[in-house]
């Protein structure tokens, strides 16, 4: 089945130690997103790629970076994780069809910072 | 700016009772509204979108531009409807005509047997 895959599902890192989360998709969608979701809060968009064009949200901290080496893969790099970065990170994809931008989500990676 | 408000964090109803999950939005243009659902231990997935005017799993939602609302309704709740429901709004943003999606904080629906 075509899907969005995130690895790992659970990631523990130390304060200040760089960490990379990965996302892959078999949907061949041209848009990929990264969201941060903290407990009882809405998913918050960090950035997205429209094909190779990177779009950063204005309030995304510089600590968060992203790479998209090809259509299928997208990575979230947290350069120096702080305790406040502990959250669920969701990857999603979409492919514009007319004016509808349905998003397909991965299962998420839960990041713990110790 | 675009904003989505879901006033209820938790909604508990008995099985067979009607359900209404509230969603209000703020957007200056023509929005596209969605309801996403997340069942326990499953990924977030689209339930329905206003543009399709469809009924999915017995749920419907009507876009009311005058009241800027997109409430989700179901006449008779079932236990399997228990989940987290997110209202989302898509509007113009970014470059290349990309439509940014903003999510509400979600409402947990608990259907009591």
Tell me the domain boundaries of chain A.
4-113
Q: How many residues does chain A have?
A: 114
High-pLDDT (> 70) share of chain B, %? 93
How large is the average pLDDT for residues B103-113?
A: 96
CA dihedral A14, A106, B37, B10 (to 10 degrees): 0
B113 in a structural domain? no
pLDDT attached to residue B91: 72
Please report which confidence band the pLDDT of residue B113 belongs to, taking 50, 70 and 90 as the band edges: very high
pLDDT means over runs of 10, chain A (114 residues): 88 96 94 92 91 90 95 96 96 75 90 96
Query: Which residue carries 């989302």 as its tokens?
Result: B88
Task: Look at residue B97 and tell me whether its pLDDT is greater than 60.
Answer: no
Task: Look at residue B93 and tell me whether its pLDDT is greater than 60.
Answer: no
A91 contacts A4 by C-beta, under 8 angstroms: yes
B37 in a structural domain? yes
B8 in a structural domain? yes
CATH number (domain holding residue B49): 2.60.40.10
Q: How far apart are CA B35 and CA A4, in angstroms?
A: 19
B112 in a structural domain? no
CB contact under 8 A, B43 and A100: no
User: What's the structural domain count of chain B?
Assistant: 1
CB contact under 8 A, A101 and B101: yes
User: Which tokens go with A71?
Assistant: 């259509």
A41 contacts chain B (CB < 8 A)? yes
Mutate to test the interface with B, among A37, A45, A49, A97 (most CBs of B within 10 A): A45
Please report which confidence band the pLDDT of residue B36 belongs to, taking 50, 70 and 90 as the band edges: very high
Task: Look at residue B100 and tell me whether its pLDDT is greater than 80.
Answer: no
pLDDT attached to residue B95: 46
Q: How far apart are CA B18 and CA B82, in angstroms?
A: 13
Domain that residue B30 falls in = 3-107
Q: How far apart are CA A37 and CA A76, in angstroms?
A: 14
In CATH, what number does A4-113 get?
A: 2.60.40.10
pLDDT attached to residue B32: 86
Collapsed DSSP state (helix, strand, coil) of residue A14:
coil
Q: How far apart are CA B110 and CA A54, in angstroms?
A: 39
Is A4 exposed, middle or buried, given 0-12, 13-18 or 19+ CB atoms closer than 10 A? buried
How large is the average pLDDT for residues B61-76?
A: 94
For residue A102, which residues of chain B lie inside 8 Å, CB to CB? 34, 46, 49
pLDDT attached to residue A84: 95
B contact residues 56-95, partner A, Cβ 8 Å cutoff:
86, 90, 94-95
């Amino acid at each position: 089945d075509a899907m969005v895959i995130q690895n790992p599902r659970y990631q523990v890192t130390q304060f200040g130690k760089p960490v990379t989360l990965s996302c892959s998709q078999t949907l061949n969608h041209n848009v990929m997103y990264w969201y941060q979701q903290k407990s009882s809060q809405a998913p918050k968009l960090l950035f997205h790629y429209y094909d190779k064009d990177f779009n950063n949200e204005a309030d995304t901290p510089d600590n968060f970076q992203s790479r998209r080496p090809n259509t299928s893969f997208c990575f979230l790099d947290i350069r120096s994780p702080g305790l406040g970065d502990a959250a669920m990170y969701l990857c999603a994809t979409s492919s514009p069809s007319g004016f509808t931008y349905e998003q397909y989500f991965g299962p998420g990676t839960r990041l713990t910072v110790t | 700016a675009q904003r989505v408000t879901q006033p209820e964090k938790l909604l508990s109803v008995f099985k067979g009772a009607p359900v209404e999950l509230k969603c209000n939005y703020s957007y200056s243009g023509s929005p596209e509204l969605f309801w996403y659902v997340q069942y326990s231990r499953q990924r977030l997935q689209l339930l329905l979108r206003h543009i399709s005017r469809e009924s999915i799993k017995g749920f419907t939602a009507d876009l009311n531009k005058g009241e800027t609302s997109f409430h989700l309704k179901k006449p008779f709740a079932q236990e399997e409807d228990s989940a987290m429901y997110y209202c989302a709004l898509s509007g113009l943003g970014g470059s290349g005509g990309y439509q940014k999606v903003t999510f509400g904080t979600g409402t947990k629906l608990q259907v009591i047997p």
